[in-house]
Structure 1
Amino acid sequence: MQLGRVIGTVVATTKTPGLEGVKCLIGQPLGRDRRPKGRPVVAADAVHMAGPGELVYVVGSREAAQALPETF
């Protein structure tokens, strides 16, 4: 789990089956001092609650995918 800030949204002309209706965001990972750390990542917002400028946790484990409508 990594603290990050939403810095943008992704517009996809096509999505993999199972990701239709799932919002994708661009997140900038942050260090302990809340300064940018590393390269931005694309993340799926399965609960549709995050927006640009908000602090979020980016989770990359298998369990994170369980919040999505389809399993991978």
Structure 2
Amino acid sequence: MHDDKEIPKFDSYEEMAAFWDTHSLADYWDQTESVDFDFAPEARRQYLIGVDREVLARVQRLARTRGVSDNRSIKYGR
């Protein structure tokens, strides 16, 4: 544990993401606290859109290289 280090205050989500990309939450676990929140999956909306064949082909290739379905790649951006 890094008791001498504190989780810094961040000015942006990008700054926070850059920090956590290079640090382990395990090193700061003692500084975290439990929170309660509501999760409403029914709040999601689905839209049907047309996608150009070339764009779809690129998405499918990218999804294959990442080992996920094209639907998951579009849905979650992974």
TM-score range, shorter chain: under 0.3
Larger strand percent: 1
Provide the TM-score with structure 2 as the length reference: 0.20
Provide the TM-score with structure 1 as the length reference: 0.21
Larger helix percent: 2
